[in-house]
Every structure is written in C-alpha cells, then in structure tokens.
Amino acid sequence: MKDIHLIVVGKLKDKNLEALEEQYLKRIKAPKLHIHEVKSHKENLDLEANEVEKKLNDIGKVFPILLAENGKLVDSEKFSNWLFNLIETRHEKIVFIIGGASGHGQKIIERAQARLSLSPMTYPHKLARVLFVEQVYRAITINSGHPYHK
C-alpha cells in the first residue's frame, strides 16, 4: 500500500500538540503517514512556496492536495472513501500540504490537483496539522471497519 505524505510549513513546537500527534502517528500503521516540515518564512509566501516545491520534488512524482479553507468539505466517511480511492487509483504519491499562517504561495496553489478543507472555520496551521493527522487515522479505521469512528 502507498504511503501518504504531509508537508507542513513550520515546526510543531507545542509539547501538548506534539504528544497528541505522536499518539496518532503510532497508531497509523498502513498506509504510513510521513510528515515533512519545511521552513517558515513568515509573511513571504514565495519563499515558503519554494520550500514546499523543493520538498515535493524530493518526494518524487506526486499528487499534491492543498488543505485550505476554500477547499472541498467532506465528512470523515467520504474523506476515507476518497483517500483510499486515491491510494488505489493514483500512480503518484499522495501529498497533502498545509501552508503557513499566511496560506499557500501561488506556485503551490497552481500545482495542486485538489483542495480539501478541514472545516469552514479557520484554525491555526499547527492545530490543523494535528486535526489532519487524526482524520487520517480515522479514515484508516473507517476503511478497516474498526469501531474508533463510532
């Protein structure tokens, strides 16, 4: 089974969020979720986009998906079905991208193959990261019939 990749701008420095994320990452066995942190350049979206672009190129042939407030809204079951359909049908590596506090640079917006929203609400990007990791774990449990989702 193909692994999933998550590129995030900035580091997760909050010990509580790190501990929560680590709990979910330990539970995620297959597909494996790889988190790639790239340097934040605060208000300079072009520099952040360059960092993300370098990481995408390092990963290889990719199917990039933006996590963005203007992305498609789906519930957890639809996300699970969509994610596992991508894993089964796409030849590229599935890569989700969380931008920095100012969003995504134009270069990355243009490269994205899809956009997904975690909620119509706006979250700090570091909290969005933990929420997304939990949703990947939830998607895996839904796909496998595990009772976690209930």
Q: State pLDDT tens for residues 50-75.
A: 999 999 999 999 999 999 988 999 99
**Residue 123 marked ligand-binding:** yes
**Residue 99 marked ligand-binding:** yes
The amino acid at 35: I
pLDDT at 126: 87
CATH number of 4-145: 3.40.1280.10
pLDDT at 146: 83
Tokens matching residue 24:
């979910």
Q: What angle is formed at CA 110 by the lines to CA 128 and CA 101, rounded to 5 degrees?
A: 30
- Assess whether pLDDT exceeds 70 at residue 88: yes
Q: State pLDDT tens for residues 8-34.
A: 999 988 999 999 999 999 999 999 999
Beta strands in 74-127 (DSSP E): 93-98, 114-117
Summarize the confidence of residues 98-103 as an average pLDDT: 86
**Residue 121 marked ligand-binding:** yes
**Residue 118 marked ligand-binding:** yes
Where do the structural domains in the chain lie, given as residue ranges?
Answer: 4-145
Distance, CA of 20 to CA of 16 (rounded, Å): 6
